Structure 1
Amino acid sequence: MSTTPPVVNGDHPFPRQLAEALRGNGSRPGLDQLRATAEYIRAHRGAFADWLRDLAADAPAVAEIAKRSYWHPNGFAKIVLHTGVEPEFRVRLHVWPESETVSRGESNPHSHRWEFASHVLAGTGMHMVEFTETAERGKPFRRFRYGADPANPAALVSDGEVRLKRRAVPHVQGGDVYTCDTAVVHTVRPIDAGLTATVVVQGPRRTPTTVVYCEPGESDDQPNFDLTEEDFEELVIAVLANLDSGVAP
């Protein structure tokens, strides 16, 4: 049973506590504040679970969350649980449902327009590969700019052909917290095919565009898919069942 007060018009104590952790010395949180906030979530997993339960029981909140969330084309959900203004931040829940095969995750090398910290809430962990552009060797890719078309901010705008080489292959284990800044180009996928969920604390936008790389012959038309209210409820039930079972990340 939830131990936190019920949601009232989208207000809730848990995101207010996250905002306090983010404020630090200013209203534009940096990586240190983002990490501290993700660490707060790790230390208060029970309170986070209570918040999820309260959100799932609030029909207007579920409808609002579903509208701003979506399914990635590779089959995992990106759920925006909360958006804050002062300080500016978002709390996202990324869920890879249990399946027979390991998800490809975010398999196109890409960067981000914002910094973030992430806590592996459920599952074995995440496998990442970091890349850098190189003049020699490496693997050929087509580079695109995301956010470069004012008429269609979600479009990928062609930005030439490059070569990428691996820079690092970090693994993040279940229960860990990791951070990422706007300079990192990486791919991300869960380590295994079991249910995996991460809580992402996203900071304010730092750059107007970001890069996405596609292999030659790969389509740049990779649309997201709508996430329904029923999807949200089913995913929350699965994540909470994992947390309630006492499965230690």
Structure 2
Amino acid sequence: MSTTPFVVAADQSFPRLVAEALRGNDSQPGLAQLEAAAEHIRASRRAFAAWLRDLAADDTAVAEIAKRSYWHPNGFAKIVLHTGVEPEFRIRLHVWPRSETPSDGESNPHSHRWEFASHVLTGTGMHMVEFAETAEGGRPYQRYRYGTDPANPAALVADGEVRLKRRGVPHVQSGDVYTCDTSIVHTVRPIDAGLTATVVVQGPRRTPTTVVYCEPGESDDQPNVDLTEADFGKLVSELLVSLDREVAP
């Protein structure tokens, strides 16, 4: 797989270059193309930082990004920087701000309706636990379906009690690329309490619903919180300081 850095021309935007990495024989990128795009972002950190700086300076872009982004209930930001149509993809930025203790991250085991590849842009890295349903052993969970209620697509709909067992504990270090398909059920959290950010290249939706698991007694009412334009500006400013330090000659 080639990891040749992008050369950013004046008439090409960074998302257009990511789209080029995604294009193959199919207009809908698969996991291999998503991984290639994430690898290109890893090889083009300076260009990504420049694009991020341009976005933060554009009031219209900031307003649009804030509308489609939010704070996860566990205190990290899920930011949609770009949406593409042909090929269909999204560039997302997940940011865990500095804190006194490590974030719980996405602590409920869950799967995704789409495949993705992510790159640890800054921070020590990510700790993940992958799960599988089992008839014996493991721990009990309440299973929910996400995306089944047309009136409220974000609602969690109860789908029975199951048991989950651990099947793997992958660690993704700073600078690494991680891929995930729709069959993976996992939890994700930053390794430490420092500023941590990942760039996610998300492919097209493959399934209408996905699963989320909650421990017995845990509430399924875990609403997201709006991300403001000021939030975006603060997070990007802190991230750029970190990136500038890392890519300085």
Shorter-chain TM-score category?
over 0.9
CA–CA distance in 1 between the matches of 2:145 and 2:26? 30
Residues in 1 aligned to 2:169 and 2:207: alpha-carbon distance in whole angstroms:
25
Task: Name structure 1 gaps, 5 residues minimum.
Answer: 7-11
1:92 positional shift: 0.2
Aligned residue pair count: 241
TM-score (norm 2): 0.95
How far is 1:142 from its partner? 0.1
By how many angstroms is 1:138 displaced?
0.7
Task: Work out whether residues 146 and 156 of structure 1, in 8 Å CA contact, stay in contact via their aligned partners in 2.
Answer: yes
State the alpha-carbon separation in 1 of the partners of residues 241 and 217 from structure 2.
Answer: 41
* Paired-residue identity, %: 80
Cα deviation for residue 230 of structure 1 reads: 0.4
Give the aligned partner of residue 205 of structure 2: 205
Q: How does 1:1-249 map to 2 (within 5 A)?
A: 5=10, 13-246=13-246
Shift of 1:29: 0.2
Give distance in 2, aligned partners of 1:107 and 1:235: 22
Structure 2 counterpart of 1:9: none
How many Å apart are 1:5 and its aligned residue?
A: 4.9
Contact in 2 for aligned 1:4/1:47 (Cα 8 Å)? no
* TM-score, normalised with respect to structure 1: 0.95
- Matched to 1:72, the amino acid is H
Instruction: Tell me the SS of whatever aligns to 1:63.
Output: helix
SS state at 2:93 partner? strand
Separation (CA, whole Å) in 1 of partners of 2:63 and 2:247: 29
Deviation at 1:26, TM superposition (A): 1.6
Q: Is the 8 A contact 2:121 2:198 kept in 1?
A: yes
- 8 Å CA contact 2:46–2:247 kept in 1: the answer is no
CA displacement, residues 146-183 of structure 1 (integer Å, 9 cap, x when unaligned): 00111111100000000000000000000000100000
Shift in Å, 1:33: 0.1
1:36 and 1:94, CA in 2 relative to 1: closer, same or farther beyond 3 A?
A: same
CA contact (8 A) 1:4 1:50 kept: no
Amino acid at match of 1:92: R
Give yes or no for contact 1:82–1:90 (8 Å, CA) kept in 2. Answer: yes
2:4 matched residue in structure 1: none
- The CA distance in 2 between the partners of 1:34 and 1:225, in whole Å, is 28
Give the 4+ runs in structure 1 shifted more than 3 A: 3-6
Which residue identity is paired with 1:84?
G
Partner SS, residue 103 of structure 1:
coil
Pair 146,109 (structure 1): closer, same or farther in 2 beyond 3 Å: same
Q: Which runs of 5+ in 2 are unaligned?
A: 1-7
One-letter amino acid of the structure 2 residue matched with residue 171 of structure 1: H
